Every structure is written in structure tokens, then in C-alpha cells.
Amino acid sequence: MVEGRRTLWLFWGSLAVFLLTAHAAVRSPDAEILFEACDALASRGTFALEPVSAWEGHGVETGRDGRTYSIFGPLVSIACAPLLALIDAIGPLAVFEALGGPPWPSHYVPDGLFQALDGEPPTDLLPHARRALVAWIFNGVVSALAVALFFRVARRFAADERAALSVTVVFALATPTWPYAGTFFAEPLATLLVLAAIERMGLPGAARGLRLAVAGLFAGLAAWAHITAVLFAPFFPFLASLEEGRFRPARALVFGTGLALGLGGLALYHYLLWGDPFETGRYSNYGRFVPPWRGLYGLLLSPGKGLFLHVPVALLGAWAFGEFWRKYRAMGAIFAGALLVRLVFIASRSDWHGGFCVGPRLLLQGMPLLLLPLVPWLDDRIGRRPRAVLAFAFVSLVSFGVQWLFVAGEPFRILHELRLDALAAFRAVFDNDEFYLDFATAPLAHLPFGPVGPYLLRNVRSPLLLWAFGVFSVLLLLGFPVKALLGKGEVPGVPWRERLAPFLLALATAALYVPTLGNDFINLDDPWYVHGSPFATEGWRGILLAFFESHLDAYYPVTHAIYTVVQTLFGTSALAHHAVQVGIFAAGVALLPWALAAFGIPRAVGFWIALLWAAHPMRVESVSWVGNLKDPAAFLGLVLAFGAYGAGWRKTSVAMLALALLAKSAFFPIAGLFVLLERRRAGWERAFVRALPHLAVAATVAAIGAYLHVFPAAAEGRTHPGGSLGAAIPSVLWLPWWYLGRNLTFRYPQALYTFEPVGWLDPRFLVALVAWGGALAVLWKLPREKRLAWGTGLAAWILPFLPVTGLVPLVHHVADRYDLLPSIPVWAGIVLAAREGARRLPRWAAPVAAGSALAVMAAVNLPRQLDYRDSVALWETELPREPNHATVRYLLGTAYANAGRWDDAIAQLETLYEMEPSVETAIHVARARLGKYDVPLEIRPRYAAHLARASDPVLVWLNLVQELVSAGERERAKSILADLPQERAEVVLHYAILDATEGRYEEALGRVDEALGLDATLAQAHLYRAFLLKNLGRDEELARLADVQLESSQHRALLAKERAMALLRLRRAEEALAATEVEVDERHWPILAAARAAALMLLGRTEEARLVAESGDGPGADRALLQAVLEQTR
């Protein structure tokens, strides 16, 4: 009776998980053919595909009657036909209307693949909706039935039901059973029938009569679902014949009757379709036999298909086979033989990989045989060998994480994107099966950064976020089944909880912060600590330099040493930096209960303090922001310092404190807690003496930090709240309570805050005074024996705030990272108070309350991590909360600029200029504008400075246009002109210059006339008109420009020269000579000299011409013409 209830719970529970996380689309060609055959049966009562499949050339062949048929087993299509008929009767579109969205595209409906790759909904919804619902429901139900049957079989191998339940859950959620439940492949149905056959055999006992025949029929039907199930046919009769470890041929005969019926029916089906009972339709071109070595590596170890990589728990199953064989020799030999034959046969086929799918698809049917030996193995260890149980839990958790990643992401779309990328790069990745063997094309490496897979969870922003939430949730629940499996088997002297807790905390923290691994750097602090670090860029030598030099007016040698190591090993890889930061933080959280034990807090309580504290959204800034590595690095050092102190390792404690403060010197006040810890053992004087080494380390680091913080020029940018130390006192008293409020309300964090300093008459100051008075009163009324402990907690809350609430001048007076250490005693107090209150409540109340708090915090924490995925995402999130924060505007503007979103960058920086007009801000705006036009980097600083200071920026832009035109950058020049005021004569003139450089002189002349119409005094336009008339050969018009009046001496000289030269070309020397007689400054005389000398020469006045030519050399002179005149005069 109990077993029946367990079976039902497993069926309905696994079905709920499978349906909730199903992908709801047909995404493989095999599945498309199976659906089309199902559709043919449901709608036309035939196996023939009419019309021919939209996915031609794969999975179909012409039958003996000339019609097209599926080459795959018919059972899936037969079994799903009633389901499809029911779906059509209900109306598939109505289902998706109720779900509030269109179905996801099935890949092999026309244009479906490209719609899926582009993330677009399908255009014709009906065919996609029908496929989606069939794929959603069918294998979900089939896989849930397989889970239930697996439990019924496993229960017979275990004296303790817990072993069977545990391995069944592993089969359901830690093997490909889960991801394949969301597909329309045939493997889940074949696996179900294999399990049904084993279950009917009654193993490890012996079934009789009709049950054996039914078992044989199920084994035969498995080949109807997938032809490779026939590989079990030689082994299952021996399995069925076992009775008390001996072979009974009569039993094999009964089983064989059912098996023959099943396989005979399949042979008849093949004969009717293909004309040969042994022909499956694949003929000779579907696959071929090859040496098995590549296939064996690919199926077991490769990044794209390896069983042990995709299902790590299979390693444990293989390990358990030895013990299984010793206990069930004959059965173990049959299981092993069946698995090995299947492995070698599949590996010997050229299509061993199974195409685009999840992991080693063609080994899925063997998964029950591989996992069943784990049941007696675990059964012998429950309550007896806790290390083995913990190993089973750990490997199962890793295996679950892999399957959940395939479910949370969309592997088929990833595979197609990788295929298209390879084609675009002209890489023949399918040669030698490189696509399935190369880590670069392994879906596991790309799934976290692709689209979300489950249809019902489609609104989750990232598969990484979904995966992290799932793993975090499982980790929270894992302790209960592990505890049940451990029973009373604990490691002597050390409770199992204390050994397991650090690992669970580390895993939970790492899982929670996995989304951080997909983040990039941001444009605040990160460039200075990573790309521009004077230490990290020096290689290993930078580690030593970090201890002898400061950077950015701070001395953080340990932090910079870590940056240096990471950058030396991995370069400027954001993933590497984030992974190290998350790892350091997870290590600190794992050891936090050990450190809290030094304060008398039990480790079981410390576990919940650490977990709640680590999950709080305010921790994200310290973990997900590479520039804040100093926070988790110093936190880990402090945890080690207090843990070592509690263990009695005083010298180690002092060393760890030194490392912590060398990672972040602002934590130095925390050393005062060692005095209070010593006070528990001795009087105040003795306590100070014993804590002197810790205090000396803190004082030394504080002195160095104070020197670097106060005296450099950069310190001028730091202020006290209110402008002075005296005015900062109200803020100093208020801010701890402000942080407390944010701790308790789980409000969405911010990277930057606008903080209005608290005045002496501010109501907030009154609230702070009341709060401090209340806190001190409560502390005073506590019993004497509790006063020191709670006073230590209050000090642990206050001391870290001293450098960051106003006593020390800062750039940012409020930040989430300032609350990193003070929030630990806050959560310690909350958990300890809840522990006292929970004594009167049911036992389940405390875990439920803690789980609820964690769920609420994770719901804020996970999206906040994704805000840090890049600079644009972070500052776009901040802007609605801080629209008047100048730094947010600036950082968002520069983030847009770095992303090439120039218009957005200009909009933000112009708003910033309106808020804080200055030359510096104007330069930022100018740089963004120059970037928009892709102006060469080397000239941007010069023009940005000119634009920021110019009274008429248009003229600066026009100078830039001229420079770009001279450099041949005409398209960039045009884009700049298009954005300048078109009514300005200078702008029109520059359009004329562009036309002329492209040889369009007539159009250029028209534009010059337009410019002169706008401003007749524009000297450059008159000169350029003369230039154009010369190039057009219109000397008569050029000669008539005598009435043009120009103010500049140089301009008059240039125009007169062009007129004179035109007249000379017209052989009108007298007029040419007269044209040169204009009033110009002496320094501009050389411009006219050549034309005047030529005119004199033509008039026969040789001596005058010689004198003019000899005196006319200078700036602007036509030296070639002057030389020609001189030669003529000789």
C-alpha cells in the first residue's frame, strides 16, 4: 500500500516538473518526422507522409508502394495519434491564448528554424501550436511513467525504501530522462518499455506465466519505439530465465513468446512498407560501420556527447557494478553485457552521436541498467557509511546541475547557432565529428548565455538566472534527504552537520552567484583595477610591486596581488575575475559559522546566519562588481582571523587579520572586537594587553591608509556629509539606522545613492538619537551575564561603520558595500532572536520562515546580479532611481559611448551639462559627438577641447570637415555637415567644397551662389567661386569679379590674382596688370607678384617685369611663374 502511494507521488511529482519545464516545440528532424507520421495516422489513418515532409532528405524513404514513409519506429506515432486528435478537438490556438503567448517555433515547419534563431514568434501559429502541445505532453507523461516504473523495480533491490527513492529521484532529475521529457524523440518511450519489461520480469525475484510473456511483449515493443532496443533482445531472455540466481530455460521460452510476438509484428510492418522484414528504411546511406575508437571516446568522455561529463552520476553507477555483480552474479553479468554490447555497437556506427540532441542520446535506453546497481550499493551504506552517502549526494547534485542546465537553456538553438557560425567561418566542423568532439562547440559551454528553454518560464531573463535559482533551491532542500540517508551514521567525534555545512554553504553561495559569471566589466573602478592597474599589467612582478606602492590613494596590496595573479593567468577575462571573486566570497561564507563560533554562536545557528546574510541583495555589489574584490578578499581574511582566534591559533589569527586589512584597510576598526572577546576571560586591562598584536596591526594599516587618504591632491574630491566634521555628526549617528532599514526591507539595491546630509535640526537626527538611546537602554537592562555578549554584537555593528559614515571624508557617503560587515551582527541578532521565539512554535516553522526569507531575497538578488552584466544595463537600472545624480548620467553616457550608442550617449551627457555646466562636461559631450562621426581617435582630444571652449562651435566643426576632406574622409565629413545648421552660409559652402573634391564643379558653383545668397560678405565663398570658375574654364565670368569688395588684405590679394590670371589667359594684359593694382598689405604682395610680372612681360616692359619677379618671392607666391618670367627676361 505504501509502495503504491510512493509510486503515485513519484509519477505526479515528476510529471509536474516535466510539464513545468518542457520546451514545447519540435526541434529535431527525427521528432518532426515522428510528428508528421502521427499527424498522418490521426488525420488520414495512414503511415504515408502526404505531402512529403517539409524536412526533405532526412528520416523518410519511398516504400514499396511508391509513397513516402518514416524510417523511424512506428510506436511513437501510433501512441501519440489519440493525443493529437484530442488536441485538435480542443483547439491548440485556444490553449496558447489562455497561456498568454504564441507557441514557440518548431524548427522544421517552413521558416521555423530562422524564426527560432531570431527569437521571433511564428507567423502561421496553427502548425506550431499542434507540435508544441504534442511535444509538451507526450514525453512528459511517458517519462513520468518511466520514473514510477523505475521505483517499482528499484524497490525490489533495497531493504531500505530510502535507497530506492533516492536513486529514483536521481533517475528522474539527474539523468537525461529530464531533458528528453521535453522533446519528441522516441528514446523516452523505448526506455519506458525496457523498464516495463524488467518490471514484469519481477527482478530480482522471478515472475511466472503471463507476466513473463507480457515482459517479452514489452521488450519487443521497445524496438517498435526505437530500433536500437533490439540490442537488448539477446540478453533479456537470459534475464527473464533467472530464478534464484539459476537459469530456467522454460522461463526464457515463455518470455521469448512475447518477445517474438513483438519483434514479429515489427518485421511484418517493415515487410509491408519496404518489402523486407529486416529492412528499416535506412537502406545503406543512413549510417555505416566504422572503427569504434572515436565513438567510444565521444560517447564516454567528449565535451559534446560524453556520458560521464553529461551524467556524472553514471560514474558512480559504474563503480557500483562490482558490488552488484558480487551480490547478483548472473544478473550483473547480463546487465554489464547488455550495456557493453550497446556501447560498442553504437560506437561502431558513423552516426554514434545521434545528431543534434542532448548528450549521448543513443545510450539513454541503457540508463536504468546503469543506475539499478546503485540501489543495493546505497542500501548497504545508509546509516552506516556517511562519507559514501555524502559522495552520492554530491555527485547526484552535480549531475542534477548538468541536466537542469540543459532544461533551463535551449540546446537545439545553441547547436544551430554554432553550426551557422562554423559555416560562416568556412570551418568543416562535421568532418571527423569535430562538432561533437570539440569543447568550443559543446552546448554545455554556451547554454548559460543563450535563450531560456522552458515555455512556461519564458519571461525569465536568462537561463543562467533560472539555473542558479533552481540549484540554489535544491541546495536549500538537500539537507533533509541527506540527513535522512545518513541516519545515525556520523563520523566519530564530529557531527555530520558540521562536516556537511561548509560544503553546502559554499555550494549554495556559488550557485546563487552563478549569474555573476556571465557579467562583463563595468566602467566604474573596474578599468582602474584591471585594465589600467599598474600592478596587474606587470605580470608576476606586479605582486611584489603591489606591496611597495599605492594605487588610487589607497594601499590594498593583497587585493592588487589577486588581480595580478588572475590577469597574469587569464588576461583581462571578465569570467576569470568574476569566478575568483565568487569563489573567495563562497569560501568566506562557508567558514563564517566557524568564525561566529568564536563569539559563542553555535555552528548550526551560524549556518543560517551565513546563508541569510550571503543571500541578501545588498551583498551583490561586493560580489558581482570586479572593482570591489577588496570586500570578499578582506571578508575571507577576517573570517579566518576570528576562526583561528576561536580555535586558539593566536599567531595565525594576527596574520590573517593583517592580510584582511591589507586587502581593505577601511576594516581596521573591527580589530576592537578582539578586546571584547578577550574581556570574556579577563579584566579590561588584561584584555587590551592580550589583544595588543591585533590592535597594533590595525593601527599600522590605519596610519598608512590615513596618510594616503588625506594628503594627496585627489583627496580634495572627498568631503564630510554637511561639509565639515562637526556638521557630519548627525549623519554619522543616522546612517547605521538607515542601513539597518535597508537590511530589513530587502529593497532593491543601488550602485550609487543621493544622500542628503542630516542636519542638527533634521527629524532624522531626532530619530537616530531616540534609536541609540533605546539600544543603550536595552543593553543596560540585560542581565549582566548577557550584557557583554550583546554589547559585543552592538560593537560589531558599529565599529565597521566608523570610517564610512562621515567621520572620514569620502566621495560617496552611502554605498551597499559599506554594510558588508555591519550586516553580519544584524542577521546574527535576527536569527538568534528567531531561535528563541521558535521554541514555542512547531518544528517546521523555523525552516519555513528561513526558506521564505531566502526565497524573497533570492528574488531580488538574482535580478540584481544581472544588472551588473555590463555598464549599460547597470546604469540604465540606476537612472530611474537617481535621475538627478550627475555621476549616474556621466557613467551611463560613457557606457553608451563605449557600446557605440552615440545618440544615447550624447543625450545623457547633454543632460549632464544642463545639470552641471562646465568645460569638462562640455568636453565629454564633444567627445561623444566626435565618436558618433567616427572621427579618428588621434584628433578627437584636440577637437573636443576646441568645441568645448568655442563661442561658435559650427566653425570648429567646419574646420574638422576641411581636415577630413583633406584626408580623403569625405563620407565622415558629409555626416557631420548633415547635422549642422543648413541655413548657415559656411555650411553650404563646405557642401560646395565636397562637391568639388568629387569633380562636380557645376553643382559646387551652384552651392557657392546659394551660400553667397545667404551671406554676400562671406569672403571664402567669393574666393571659392573664383576657384570654381577657373576650373570650369569660365575666365570671362572670373574676369568680371572686379566689383567684389573684401575686407581681408589676403582675400583681396587672392581674388585679384585669380582675376589677373584669367585676364592673362584671355590675352588682356593691360586689364590683368590693372587687376593687380589693389590695396593689400606688404606681406601679401607676393601673392600678386607673379601675375603682375607676367602681365608686364606680355606688355614688353621686361625690366619692370624682372624687378617685380626678383622682389616677389615670399609666402603665397607662385614661384614657378616667377621663375618662368625671370628666364624670359634673361
Per-residue pLDDT tens over the stretch 142-165:
999 999 999 999 988 888 888 889
Model pLDDT, residue 492:
42
Parallel, antiparallel, or unpaired: how do β-strands 246-247 and 242-243 relate? antiparallel
Distances (CA, A) of 717 to 487, 527, 580, 889: 61, 19, 31, 18
Is pLDDT above 90 for 1082?
Answer: no
Rounded to 5 degrees, what are φ and ψ at 1099?
Answer: -85, 0
Sequence letter at residue 270: H
Q: What is the mean pLDDT of residues 1013-1035?
A: 86
Model pLDDT, residue 170:
93
pLDDT tens-digit map of 924-959: 999 999 999 898 989 989 999 998 898 899 899 989
Confidence of residue 1074 (pLDDT cuts 50, 70, 90): confident
Q: Does an H or E element contain 863, and which?
A: helix 845-867
Q: What is the mean pLDDT of residues 761-766?
A: 91
The grid coordinates listed for 6 are 510512493
Task: Number of helices (H) and strands (E) in the chain: give both, helices first.
Answer: 56, 4
CA–CA separation, 904 and 892 (whole Å) = 9
pLDDT tens-digit map of 46-59: 888 876 555 555 77
CA–CA separation, 243 and 573 (whole Å) = 61
Query: Would you call 853 helix, strand, or coil by DSSP?
Result: helix
Model pLDDT, residue 538:
84
Burial annotation 695-715 (CB, 10 A radius, 16+ → b, else e): bebbeebbebbeebbeeeeee
Q: What is the mean pLDDT of residues 780-799?
A: 86
Rounded to 5 degrees, what are φ and ψ at 234?
Answer: -70, -20
Residue pair 364/229 in contact (Cβ under 8 Å)? The answer is: no
Confidence of residue 642 (pLDDT cuts 50, 70, 90): very high
Rounded to 5 degrees, what are φ and ψ at 810?
Answer: -135, 160
Assigned CATH topology for domain 870-949: 1.25.40
Model pLDDT, residue 1117:
83
Query: Would you call 174 helix, strand, or coil by DSSP?
Result: coil
CA–CA separation, 581 and 577 (whole Å) = 6
Cross-strand pairs, 246:
243
Of residues 727 and 383, the one with the higher pLDDT is 727
Residue pair 25/128 in contact (Cβ under 8 Å)? The answer is: yes
Residue pair 743/618 in contact (Cβ under 8 Å)? The answer is: yes
Model pLDDT, residue 1077:
86
Mean pLDDT across the chain: 86
Confidence of residue 636 (pLDDT cuts 50, 70, 90): very high
Of residues 244 and 627, the one with the higher pLDDT is 627
CA–CA separation, 1061 and 236 (whole Å) = 108
Is pLDDT above 80 for 528?
Answer: yes
Is pLDDT above 50 for 493?
Answer: no
Mention every residue, 6+ apart, whose C-beta is less than 8 A from residue 305.
Answer: 298, 299, 353, 354, 359, 360, 436, 437
Q: Does an H or E element contain 271, and which?
A: helix 249-274
pLDDT tens-digit map of 973-993: 889 888 889 888 888 888 888
Confidence of residue 483 (pLDDT cuts 50, 70, 90): low
pLDDT tens-digit map of 548-564: 887 777 788 999 999 99
Query: Would you call 829 helix, strand, or coil by DSSP?
Result: helix
Model pLDDT, residue 484:
63
Q: What is the mean pLDDT of residues 866-879?
A: 92
Model pLDDT, residue 552:
72
The structural domains of the chain, with segments of one domain joined by +, span: 520-856, 870-949
Is pLDDT above 90 for 997?
Answer: no
Is pLDDT above 80 for 765?
Answer: yes
User: What sign does the CA torsion over 260, 263, 265, 267 have?
Assistant: negative
Confidence of residue 750 (pLDDT cuts 50, 70, 90): very high
User: What sign does the CA torsion over 118, 119, 124, 126 have?
Assistant: positive
Model pLDDT, residue 1122:
78
